Amino acid sequence: TATTHRYVYAFAEGDKDHRDLLGGKGAGLAEMTNLGLPVPPGFTITTEACRRYLATGDDPPGLAEEIDKHLAGLEADRGKRLGDPEDPLLVSVRSGAKFSMPGMMDTVLDIGLNDEAVIGLAAAGGERFAWDSYRRLIQMFGATVLGIEAEEFTKALEEAKHRSGARRDIDLDAAALRDLVADYKRIVNAATGIDFPQDPREQLDMTVRAVFDSWNTDRARVYRRSERIPEDLGTAVNVMSMVYGNLGPDSGTGVAFTRDPATGAPGVYGDYLANAQGEDVVAGVRTPVPLAQLEQLDPAAYAELLRIMALLEAHYQDLCDIEFTIEHGRLWMLQTRIGKRTAAAAFRIALQLVDDNRISIEDALGRVTGEQLSQLMFPRFDTEANAQPIASGVPASPGAAVGAAVFDAATAESREGPTILVRRETSPDDLPGIIAAAGVLTSRGGKTSHAAVVARGMGKTCVVGADDLQIDYDRKQFTTPGGAVVREGDIVSIDGATGAVYAGAIPVVPPPVVEYFEGRLTREQHRADPVVQAVARMMAYADERRRLGVHANADTPADAARARRFGADGIGLCRTEHMFLGERRRLVERLVLADTEDERDSALAELLPLQLGDFTGLFAAMDGLPVTIRLLDPPLHEFLPDLTELSVKVALAEARGEPDETDIRLLAAVRRLHEQNPMLGLRGVRLGLAVPGLVAVQVRAIALAATARIKAGSDPRPEIMVPLIGSVEEFDLMHAEIRRVLDEVAAETGIAVDAAIGTMIELPRAALTAGRIAERAAFFSFGTNDLTQTTWGFSRDDVEGSFFPVYFAKGVFADSPFESLDEEGVGRLVELAVEEGRAANRDLVIGVCGEHGGDPSSVRFFDRIGLDYVSCSPFRVPIARLEAGRAAV
């Protein structure tokens, strides 16, 4: 069947919808050709030819003949022949994959020149031009096709300039360029042992194969992995007859955008360089001038360019980016594509096009992403500052934080002014310090380490795993491999978007979009900021269209209030264990270690008023909206003293002859409760079943808080959630206990609090038996963090810093399954549970509250499988709202 394939298409035979086969560049050239725009004639060798070549290591059968045929067509069209000693045809060869891809071989110009044809070209276009073109060919061919260090050619060029006293490359005369060609040929021969090929067809074939091969360079692979471009697409190759921007001052080359791709401002943007070929602009040999100056240089060509740009934008209905060449005053289009743009520009341009009646609101929603919105929400360092990092780690939670380095949580809390908490790693004990600090820097761990998860949840800047740092807690300092020493109190800056660590204070640019969500912008500020206006409008469009609810994970009234400002429809997860960190940890410790009923009751009695206060605050912040409160779910070790530390303390005291009875008792209990796998141990529902009175006191606090709010005329909407069940039996036991306490409080107060009772689905067994559980539960909330952990058997606290980097490098997965839901595996369990849960209970409300609830691509999945809501940290709420809106259109 191979020979029935066509591998080559003339530009006039393609169109913009065949990017798979023709690549982005080939499709754009075909489309422009068919629009009647001035495109130099040429043809595209398909991605399929590339795939076959890469698979077999050889040209696919028939390709050579097809190229012959199309070359003959080009020659007829232009009335010139390749390699002709009189006025030869020259061609350019450019790669062009479906998605534009830096890292691949790009362009070779002037193919077809040799020692004879250069004479013909000189007769047609002048001596200087001909020899300049020939040296360009050898330079580009040598560097990209033959793999010779580009440096060798630029060095020879510099020497040539020096020899003839030329300041710029365009000051070299024909004789100097002829000498340079001889130098270049010597370089080629010395580096490869072969002479520069004189046969134009051999030049072309070698270049085409080099383009194919460049698909597999390391740089191209790295780029594809980071951009999630499939490995097996291959690239197309575009062969185009040359037009010359280097024929003199009435010629030139440039790039243009139909709108500003950096800011999204309307109006054309671009650069122009007279008397040059395309790669001069890219290589920065000479500095181009703003496109607007072309109007003075060549008003007719400029007017024609503007006409074509308007036509292209109207045709593509989007920002276009364009490459063009002017040859003796005649404009030629060399490339067009939908232009890349910044996040800010994406929002603005999409809405400009709506306002111009070019695209629908639904289209506009399709042109921005949650990822782009998140970029607009992170504070950032001023890039103009040009600072040099002293170290770098894993960017774990974006933002730009500046503060005094501190090495323990207590100092972060007590110190005046912003701090950066520097730890080897963090534990729940550090939480108050993390809250107090402006940013967190650790030398261990990855993107799902404790520090990373907590910091992301709070929208706090965090860099983890900066393993070059030597952190010395005793001396309160860290050192870098470069020898820099940062002591407590020294100012450092950390960039959570790049992982860079700086000494000193780098200036920070505040994000107005967050100020807008916070409600802190004045009307004038709002009106003066086009990006804020665009975001505000787009959010309204998304909210009007989204089917998914968006709730927040919030544990404090302040977080709940922010979530509400950011547009949350309720709280989807209040992790009550977060209410017992710091000072209050002792209470849980006492409860767990209690030997007698009296001891236990007194610990519980102290817990009650604290929880009552917590819940009252949450209900107040979320009045009228659901507040899903999860019963205590910590791995127990997080609430007990560290076994090793306590053992040492007891041993030292005994050695001094001053044994401490309390510590000895505590140590015995900690030993008894010590677990090898705490995440699979006494936590979740198991804790509620094993520690008498614990659930009762939490439910009582919820009910009393709600009662108090009702009495005050407010509208609390508590929901009670049981964590980490694997079976309906566990849920039943908890349900009965919760019901009992609610009824008890109702009898005492005369007010019945109507609280839905539901459960998390975060163990495979719960997902597999969801039908039975749904018969008893009012709602499900998928805990996709634990569900990912237990489905894959990956420890969520350890993997990122351990073998995940290897997994990314070997392509096991492109993203951490803890960040983007593994739809194929974990997603199937979720789908199954949704299906069987709904079949058993039509009124079942279903949400998700793992980290994935705020991940853009996961949000789309949850919409598709019919969840009722997603729940995520307050800072991700706008992102989830936008993605939910996009998913609905």
Smallest distance from the beta carbon of 767 to ligand PEP, in angstroms?
13
- Bridge-based pairing of strands 394-397 and 400-406 is unpaired
Smallest distance from the beta carbon of 849 to ligand PEP, in angstroms?
5
Cβ atoms < 10 Å from Cβ of 748: 12
Q: Exactly one of 60, 635, 718, 850 binds ligand PEP (CB under 6 A); which one?
A: 850
Nearest CA-CA partner of 827 in 871, 861, 790, 795: 861
Smallest distance from the beta carbon of 785 to Mg ion, in angstroms?
5
Q: What single-letter amino acid sits at 138?
A: I
E runs forming strands in 500-587: 500-503, 508-509, 549-553, 571-575
Cα 771 from Cα 838, distance rounded (Å): 8
Instruction: Decide: 637 and 678 in contact? Cβ < 8 Å.
Output: yes
Of residues 187 and 849, the one with the C-beta less far from ligand PEP: 849
Smallest distance from the beta carbon of 634 to ligand PEP, in angstroms?
9
Smallest distance from the beta carbon of 681 to ligand PEP, in angstroms?
13
DSSP conformation letters of 155-210: HHHHHHHHHHT-SSGGG--HHHHHHHHHHHHHHHHHHHSSPPP--HHHHHHHHHHH
Residue 855 binds which of Mg ion, ligand PEP, none (CB < 5-8 A, kind-dependent):
none
Smallest distance from the beta carbon of 785 to ligand PEP, in angstroms?
3
Of residues 298 and 762, the one with the C-beta less far from Mg ion: 762
Residue 850 binds which of Mg ion, ligand PEP, none (CB < 5-8 A, kind-dependent):
ligand PEP
Q: Exactly one of 51, 78, 315, 575 binds ligand PEP (CB under 6 A); which one?
A: 575
Cβ atoms < 10 Å from Cβ of 828: 13
Of residues 601 and 819, the one with the C-beta less far from ligand PEP: 819
Of residues 479 and 785, the one with the C-beta less far from ligand PEP: 785
Structure tokens at 413: 């809390």
Smallest distance from the beta carbon of 733 to Mg ion, in angstroms?
19
Cβ atoms < 10 Å from Cβ of 805: 14
Residue 403 binds which of Mg ion, ligand PEP, none (CB < 5-8 A, kind-dependent):
none
Q: What single-letter amino acid sits at 657?
A: G
Of residues 181 and 574, the one with the C-beta less far from ligand PEP: 574
Q: Which of residues 186-205 bind ligand PEP (CB under 6 A)?
A: none
Q: Exactly one of 169, 430, 730, 786 binds ligand PEP (CB under 6 A); which one?
A: 786
Of residues 786 and 863, the one with the C-beta less far from ligand PEP: 786
Told to check if 853 binds Mg ion by CB under 5 A, we report no
Smallest distance from the beta carbon of 880 to ligand PEP, in angstroms?
15
Nearest CA-CA partner of 156 in 139, 140, 143: 139
Told to check if 511 binds Mg ion by CB under 5 A, we report no
Q: Which residues contact 449 (CB under 8 A, 6 or more apart)?
A: 396, 425, 426, 442, 464, 465, 797, 800, 801
Smallest distance from the beta carbon of 644 to ligand PEP, in angstroms?
25
Nearest CA-CA partner of 438 in 400, 482, 411, 469: 400
Told to check if 795 binds ligand PEP by CB under 6 A, we report no
Opening angle at CA 25, ends 24 and 26, nearest 5:
95
Q: Exactly one of 108, 849, 870, 887 binds ligand PEP (CB under 6 A); which one?
A: 849
Cα 213 from Cα 208, distance rounded (Å): 9
Q: Exactly one of 785, 792, 808, 865 binds ligand PEP (CB under 6 A); which one?
A: 785
Q: State the burial class of residue 596 (Cβ atoms within 10 Å of its Cβ: 0-12, 13-18, 19+).
A: exposed
> Which phi and psi (to 5°) does residue 751 adopt?
-120, 120
The active-site residue, picked from 18, 70, 450, 735, is: 450
Of residues 304 and 633, the one with the C-beta less far from Mg ion: 633
- Which window, 227-235, 352-360, 362-370, 761-769, contacts Mg ion (CB under 5 A)? 761-769
- Which window, 237-245, 404-412, 519-527, 778-786, contacts Mg ion (CB under 5 A)? 778-786
Of residues 647 and 785, the one with the C-beta less far from ligand PEP: 785
Nearest CA-CA partner of 215 in 335, 98, 42, 67: 98
Cβ atoms < 10 Å from Cβ of 714: 14
Of residues 258 and 873, the one with the C-beta less far from ligand PEP: 873
Told to check if 784 binds ligand PEP by CB under 6 A, we report yes
Catalytic, 849? Answer yes
- Which window, 277-285, 535-543, 581-589, 757-765, contacts Mg ion (CB under 5 A)? 757-765
- Which window, 217-225, 387-395, 778-786, 813-821, contacts ligand PEP (CB under 6 A)? 778-786
Give every strand in the sheet of 400-406, ordered side by side: 391-392, 500-503, 491-495, 400-406, 419-423, 439-442, 461-464, 394-397
Cβ atoms < 10 Å from Cβ of 576: 22
Instruction: Decide: 492 and 501 in contact? Cβ < 8 Å.
Output: yes
Of residues 553 and 611, the one with the C-beta less far from Mg ion: 553
The secondary structure of residue 141, as a DSSP letter, is I
- Which window, 32-40, 730-738, 783-791, 837-845, contacts Mg ion (CB under 5 A)? 783-791
Smallest distance from the beta carbon of 638 to ligand PEP, in angstroms?
11
Fill in the per-residue mask, 733 to 772: x = in contact with ligand PEP (CB under 6 A), - = not in contact.
-----------------------------x----------
- Which window, 45-53, 71-79, 346-354, 777-785, contacts ligand PEP (CB under 6 A)? 777-785
Smallest distance from the beta carbon of 782 to Mg ion, in angstroms?
10
Element housing 266 (H / E): strand 266-274
Element housing 799 (H / E): none
Catalytic, 450? Answer yes
Residue 47 binds which of Mg ion, ligand PEP, none (CB < 5-8 A, kind-dependent):
none
Q: What single-letter amino acid sits at 127?
A: E
Q: Which of residues 636-665 bind Mg ion (CB under 5 A)?
A: none
Cα 480 from Cα 439, distance rounded (Å): 19
> Which residue reads 């996709």 in tokens?
784
Of residues 318 and 786, the one with the C-beta less far from Mg ion: 786
- Bridge-based pairing of strands 266-274 and 330-338 is unpaired
The active-site residue, picked from 320, 574, 849, 872, is: 849
- Which window, 255-263, 333-341, 521-529, 784-792, contacts ligand PEP (CB under 6 A)? 784-792
Q: Exactly one of 783, 837, 856, 878 binds Mg ion (CB under 5 A); which one?
A: 783
Residue 849 binds which of ligand PEP, Mg ion, none (CB < 5-8 A, kind-dependent):
ligand PEP
Count of residues touching ligand PEP (by CB under 6 A): 9
Taking CB atoms within 8 Å and a gap of at least 24, the contacts of 508-516 are: 508/379, 508/380, 508/381, 508/382, 508/400, 508/402, 509/379, 509/380, 509/381, 509/382, 509/400, 510/379, 511/376, 511/377, 511/378, 511/379, 511/380, 513/373, 513/376, 513/377, 514/377, 514/379
Told to check if 783 binds ligand PEP by CB under 6 A, we report yes
Q: Exactly one of 169, 569, 737, 786 binds Mg ion (CB under 5 A); which one?
A: 786
Of residues 22 and 849, the one with the C-beta less far from ligand PEP: 849
Q: Which residues bind ligand PEP (CB under 6 A)?
A: 573, 575, 762, 783-786, 849-850
Q: Which residues bind Mg ion (CB under 5 A)?
A: 762, 783, 786
Catalytically active residues are: 450, 849
